[in-house]
Structure 1
Amino acid sequence: MTEFVNIVVSVAVIIVLQMAGMLIFSLMTPFNDLEELKKGNSAVGIAFGGKFLSTAVILGVSAYTNTSIWHMMLWFAIGYVILIATYWIFELLTPGLRISEHLRKGNTAVAVLLFCVFLGTSFAVSSLII
C-alpha cells in the first residue's frame, strides 16, 4: 500500500510541477498564450509545445533518476531555471529577432527554432541529472 501511495504522490507532484512550469513560461511572454492558441496561432502552439515537452523531459529524467520526491523537485527546479536562462540568452544573442513578436505574428520558422532550442537544452540538461 505504501508503494501505491508513493506513486500517487509522485504523479501528483509531477503534474503540479509541469503545470507550474507552463504557467511560469506563460507569464514570461508579453502576450496571452491561451488567447493566441484560441486564435489558431500555430507558431505559439509549436513554441508552447516545445516548452511543455522540454519541461517534461527534464521532469521525467529527474523522476526516473531520483528516489526522493525532494531530489526530483530540486533537479527539476535546476533544469527549469536553465531552460528559462536559455530563453533569455537566446533572446540576447539574437537582437534582431524579437522572438515574442515573431511568435505573435505566427512565424512558424521562429517557433520551430525555439522548439528545438528548448528540446535540445532539455536533453543536455537531463544528461547532468543522471
Structure 2
Amino acid sequence: MTAVNVFVSFVVIVLLQLAGMVILSKMTPFNDIEELNKGNVAVGLTFGGQFLGIAIILGVAAYTNSSIGHMALWFAVGYACLVLSYWIFDWLTPGIKLSDQLKDGNKAVGLLLACVYIGVAFAVSSLIV
C-alpha cells in the first residue's frame, strides 16, 4: 500500500468516524457536547461507547476490504446495526426512556448503553469478515 493510499484511507476513516458520531448524537433530543461540557458522565460513557463501537466496525471494515468503497459499504451496514441497536434497546426497556435517563445523568444507563454499542460492534464485525 502506498503512502497516498494510506493517507486517503486515513482521511476516509476519520470522516466516517466523525459522520457516525454526529448522526448518533442527533438521535437524542439534547446536545451531547453541551451535556459533556456540563460534566454529564452518563452521556460521556455513552458517547465513548459510540466512539468505540464505530471504531471497531471501521477497523474491521478497513482490515477486511481492499477498496475504500467496499470498506465504506460494510461500515454503513455495521453502522446501521449500531443505530438500530439504540432503538431496539430503547423499545425493549419500556420502563426506561434512554434519552431522559442520559440527560438526567443516570450513569448505570450510560454504562449499559456503552456496552450495548461495543457488544453490537463486536458481534456485527464478525459478520463483515
What does residue 4 of structure 1 align with? 3
Q: Distance in 2 between matches of 1:32 and 1:24?
A: 12
Which amino acid in structure 2 is aligned with residue 46 of structure 1?
A: L
Q: 1:85 and 1:41 mapped to 2: Cα distance?
A: 24
Q: Which residue of 2 aligns with 1:16?
A: 15
Deviation of 1:20 (Å): 0.2
Q: Give the distance between the partners of 1:77 and 1:3, measured in 2 at CA.
A: 25
Q: Over residues 98-122 of structure 1, what are the superposed CA-to-partner deviations in whole Å (9 max), with x where a residue is unaligned?
A: 0111111110000110011110000
Q: Equivalent pairs: percent with the same residue?
A: 61
Question: Could you say which residue in structure 2 is the equivalent of 1:89?
Answer: 88
- Check if 1:69 corresponds to 2:65: no
In the superposition, the TM-score normalised over structure 2's length comes to 0.98
Corresponding residue number in structure 2 for 1:119: 118
Runs of 4+ in 1 over 3 A off after TM superposition: none
Provide the residue aligned with 1:29 in structure 2.
Answer: 28
- Gapped regions of structure 2 (runs ≥ 5): none
**1:10 Cα deviation from its structure 2 partner:** 0.1
What corresponds to 1:108 in structure 2?
107
Distance 1:77 1:69 in 2: 12
* Alignment TM-score, normalising by the size of structure 1: 0.98
Give distance in 2, aligned partners of 1:118 and 1:25.
Answer: 11
Distance 1:81 1:56 in 2: 14
In the alignment of these two chains, the number of paired residues is 129
Find the counterpart in structure 1 of residue 97 from structure 2: 98
Structure 1: gaps spanning 5 or more residues: none
Counterpart for residue 43 of structure 1:
42
1:57 aligns with 2:49: no
